[in-house]
Amino acid sequence: MLSHDQSTTIAANQQCDTYAWFSQRAWVEVDLEALSHNVRQLRKFLSPHTQLMAVVKADAYGHGSVTVAQTALQSGASWLGVATVPEGIQLREAGIKAPILILGATYTSEQIHAIAHWKLQPTLCSPKQALIFSTTLEAIKYNTPIAVHVKLDTGMSRLGTDWQQATEFVQLVERLPHLKIASIYSHLATADSPDPTVMQQQHQRFKSAIARIKEMGIEPPCLHLANSAGTLADKALHYDMVRPGLAIYGLSPAPHLQNVIDLKPVLQVRARVTQVKTIAEATGVSYGHHFITPGEMRIAVVGIGYADGVPRNLSNKIQVLIRGKRVRQIGTITMDQMMLDVSIIPDLQEGEVVTLLGQEGSEKITVDDWAGELNTISWEILCGFKHRLPRLGVI
């Protein structure tokens, strides 16, 4: 007979096992060695003086910002890029001390206070924003100048001051108290296109603006222009720093840039089979009965759906991997579940693992496969995986 302590221990273990089962009905695997490999490959591709900023906004494109940031910094990155102040604070709270550039626009006094407190580095997009920063820092008697990054619009038509007004903008920021220019930068709109015409035009505008700034006696301490595509497309775009995002996660930003350096996909998505059953011929599957069985069929229910980030528009269009074999998804993908035709695996059991994105043996399903089916981009697929899917670091 078990003692009270033994019974309590077994009950606790059963609860842990139950929790582990439910928490891992589906999950995202993040291959940290692949991530490290990609950063090292990018680092080798750059000249020694060019720094690498790992862009970890949007929770590191769905991979988990803190773990990705730590791994990227250990592997050769020296800067981090985020979109928002809270993203930067999250990294600081994790103990990360590397310089962090906020790529988005910030205006409010609360944001400015947080930037100063957490030693983040903002992007300045306009004279108005620069004045707000300076007067706010003056009001709170913040005596240490904060590092700011001047953004020029060279053709993206998004954030930044028009490149033709660059000199006036930079001169204003230079005169304002409490601000210190850390870099001048711009962003490329078409670097992933096989036609380099627009990219080259933006580059020429950037060079022209910088030349005029230097003629005024201002020497920018750092210049940066290239995203992942720009980094891979043309070494003339590297300047003092590059800002790769997609490439550090192991994906090429365009087919024609696929083989420039060796990249390894970092993210894999897996889920468990929750039920297996045989259904009769002419049976409708899932909402709307958009799939009708052509004959008797063995099907599996899998615990992942569009609330986890699997787009509903992929219904009846994708395959997944089980035991290294491709099987097709059938019926409408629902909020929490999807169905598979597993007739080729008649002995499949509940609890077996299904690979939605990733590799098993010689077979693989890629993010680009999904993006192609949806006529979208791989960035959107990666950023779509929700936080109820645990991120499991795999080394």
DSSP state, residue 294 = S
Tokens of 179: 């601000």
Q: Which two tokens stand for residue 367?
A: 């993010």
What element of type H or E holds 168? Answer: helix 166-175
CA distances from 365 to 145, 187, 311, 322, 356 (A): 49, 31, 15, 11, 7
Gap between the Cα atoms of 316 and 150, Å rounded: 47
At 42, which amino acid appears? Answer: L
Q: How far apart are the C-alpha atoms of 356 and 337, rounded to whole Å?
A: 13
Which residue type sits at 356?
L
Q: Are 365 and 319 in contact (CB under 8 A)?
A: yes
335 is in an annotated binding site: yes
To the question of whether residue 216 is assigned a binding role by annotation, the answer is no
State the chain's maximal CA–CA distance in angstroms. 89
Q: Which of 57, 61, 151, 306 is catalytic?
A: 57
287 is catalytic: yes
- Residue 207 appears among annotated catalytic residues: no
- Cβ atoms of 91 and 56 within 8 Å: the answer is yes
- Catalytic position from the list 44, 128, 287, 386: 287
Tell me the binding residues. 158, 335
Q: Which residues are catalytic?
A: 57, 287
